[in-house]
Amino acid sequence: MTDRCDVSVVVSTYNRCDVLPGALESILAQDTGPVTYEVIVVDNNSTDRTRHVVESMIARGHGHLRYLFEGRQGLSHARNAGIAEARAPIIAFTDDDVRAAPDWVLTIKRAFDRYREVDYVGGRVLPRWPSDPPAWLTRDHWSALALSDFGDAPMYVNADAQYCLIGANLAFRREVFERVGLFQPDFQRVKDGIGSTEDHELQLRLWNAERQGMYVPDLVVTAEVDARRMTKQYHRRWHTGHGHFYAAMRVADLEASTVRLFDVPGHLYRHAVEETLGWFTCQLRGDREAAFHCENRLRFFAGYWRKRRADYLATRRHGTLGELARFAGSLAAKTLVRRTVPPRH
């Protein structure tokens, strides 16, 4: 195999040697025509037989498969190591429990050839259920499972259409990482269910740089859904963790506010009160599905609030009571201004 190829596929894995072969077989069996590609498995400090699995597949004749060890724990570290080793101008990412469609690599290459104005492409991540999902687990809850399907039509993804494409089915032009940087470890998952946002954070940087991606519906993978993630307890933890990371990302749409308490925008408190009232109303009506949606939005707020409050108090001397006094004073001053400003005619 020569050093040059069209697409580098990076698969990060940690102690998943039981499911990894299925993912690799689907990627190694691609029907690519003239398109050449390599597969880099990044072993993220596994203690199981991951290395043996990969090396045994290489020994069976898969010369375009490579093994790479990355000892720094975390998906962002693993992906960044894969980027550093990749030989192609297009770098694609998928997961160790994913099955790629037979034309996955070819579809990636054709998408970049067709949409030369985009920096990245992504597609559908569809579920492989271990058993029938519970009735409440509808598509409205797919985000917590890292599943995605935005429909049958291609569409641009940018600052005006902020759809987050999923890292299990995502590919970038190499120069993206030179332009806006690599995946940020501050936003990677540190324990199961905490709701990492490294994919979203990288796309935010691209949108802020006035770059764009493309959702390609023909680009399809399926992902195994862990049975432990088919419980409401998991979804509650995920939404709490998602709020934590959103607080760290400082997404512009959430930050705009003239009133803040513990550096949390005032409108988020208002939404939390509305969701609390909504939860009580749904409970009284017996609408458990709607109540669960309200609860998850409240858990997002709780994760967001805890992160912001901790960071805020770490840099302030006046403490919680001092911050509450400051907040009350700012509200009083704002109310006074409203009362003293004459109405416009």
Measure the CA–CA gap between 230 and 109, rounded to whole angstroms.
34
44 φ, ψ (degrees, to nearest 5): -90, 60
CB 56 within 8 A of CB 82: no
Does the pTM surpass 0.75? The reply is yes
Amino acid in the structure at residue 254: L
**Number of folded domains in the chain?**
2
C-alpha–C-alpha distance, residues 111 and 106, integer Å: 9
Give the per-residue pLDDT at 311: 93
Query: Is 160 a domain residue?
Result: yes
pLDDT at 345: 47
Among candidate residues 196, 228, 260, the one where a domain is terminated: 228
Q: Are residues 206 and 114 in the same domain?
A: yes
In a domain, 25, yes or no: yes
pLDDT at residue 330, rounded to an integer: 67
Distance, in Å, from the CA atom of 311 to the CA atom of 193, rounded to the nearest integer, reads 22
Please report whether residue 304 resides in a domain.
yes
pLDDT of residue 328: 73
Which of 211, 228, 245 terminates a domain? The answer is 228
Would you say residue 93 lies in a domain? yes
Residue bearing tokens 């930050």: 255
**CATH no. for residue 194?**
3.90.550.10
Give, as one character, the DSSP assignment of residue 65.
E
Helix (H, G, I), strand (E, B) or coil at 182: coil
Look up the domain containing 264 and give its range: 232-340
- Both tokens of 132, joined, read 């029938």
Residue in this structure with the two tokens 């970038």, named with its chain if needed: 172
**Cβ-based neighbour number of residue 82 at 10 Å:** 23
**221 and 246 part of one domain:** no
The answer on 263 and 159 residing in a single domain is: no
User: For residue 333, is it within any domain?
Assistant: yes
Domain match, 250 and 222 both: no
Last residue of a domain, one of 204, 228, 252: 228
Encode the chain (345 residues) as per-residue pLDDT tens digits: 457 899 999 999 999 999 999 999 999 999 999 999 999 999 999 999 999 999 999 999 999 999 999 999 999 999 999 999 999 999 999 999 999 999 999 999 999 999 999 999 999 999 999 999 999 999 999 999 999 999 999 999 999 999 999 999 999 999 999 999 999 998 876 555 456 789 999 999 999 999 999 999 999 999 999 999 999 999 999 999 999 999 999 988 888 887 899 999 999 999 999 999 999 999 999 999 999 999 999 999 999 999 999 999 998 877 777 777 776 776 666 655 555 555 554
